[in-house]
Amino acid sequence: MSNNDILKKLRVALQLRDDQIVEILSLVDFKVSKAEIGALFRNEDHPNFKPCGDQILRNFLNGLVIHLRGPKEDKKPSPINK
């Protein structure tokens, strides 16, 4: 299974549009256009097909965590009881 297949399956399962995927990637400061996202979802034999690299998928997954759970809170160390 390729990264493109994983991204397609996540898009369908979560009912995401291309503009929502761009927003999710922007949560982790990864800039990508809607046209580039569209190229990831094309068939492999299409002339504008673009393979999804590990970096795009990794940033999408990290952004998806922030999108679904919210930003990570800074945990303060608990005081040590003496």
Give the model's pLDDT for residue 74. 67
Position of tokens 């503009």? 19
pLDDT in tens, 10-39: 999 999 999 999 999 999 999 999 999 999
Give the model's pLDDT for residue 72. 76
> Closest Cα to residue 21, out of 54, 52, 67?
67
Q: Tell whether the torsion through CA atoms of 59, 18, 10 and 16 is positive or negative.
A: positive
